[in-house]
Amino acid sequence: MYVAYATNSSYLPLCNHNMATPRKRFARSLGYNRQKKDRLNESERYAIVQDVLNGVPYKTLADRYSYHRNTIRNTFKRWKEQGNFKSRSTIGRKTRLTPRERRLLFRYIRKDPTRRWNNVLLYCQDTLSKKVSRNTIRRVFRKLKLGH
């Protein structure tokens, strides 16, 4: 809604729609900082549920939080059924090596690509304090596009 002044033909808004509320700023920061397929944390779920309870449509929330509307709907539905904001357990086997350990292994091999398998296995046991199989190391190399 705009108000016209008699002395000036320009219109001034009654309320400033460009000013983002703290909740919208929070939602935008979530959308810009997250990676693809990143999981919602508890504070994000809480904000989504509060907005749904306040009557904000799923489509609006999907645009605001940069998630698909079904993700918003499922988050609210899970909250109604379970009554909490906790994550469900993930599907599949956990990775044996962390990304940091994979990088260390990559640097170790890059220094001398002709290392023997036994030396690489001993390095993993000594430096990384993990017992890994030869196939695990082979998978890491394959993923890093190294032949070994």
Q: What is the pLDDT of residues 43-68, one digit of tens each?
A: 889 999 999 999 999 999 988 888 88
One-letter amino acid for residue 71 of the chain: T
- Between the alpha carbon of residue 47 and those of residues 4, 36, 50, 65, the distances in Å are 38, 20, 5, 10
- The pLDDT assigned to 50 comes to 92
Contact indicator for 48, 72 with CB cutoff of 8 Å: yes
- The pLDDT assigned to 117 comes to 86
For residue 73 the two structure tokens come to 């709907």
- pLDDT tens for the chain, residues 1 to 148: 444 444 444 444 445 455 667 766 666 665 555 555 577 888 889 999 999 999 999 999 988 888 889 989 999 998 998 888 787 777 788 888 888 998 888 889 888 888 888 888 898 888 888 888 889 888 888 887 776 5
- The pLDDT assigned to 19 comes to 63
Residue 2: φ, ψ to 5°: -125, 155
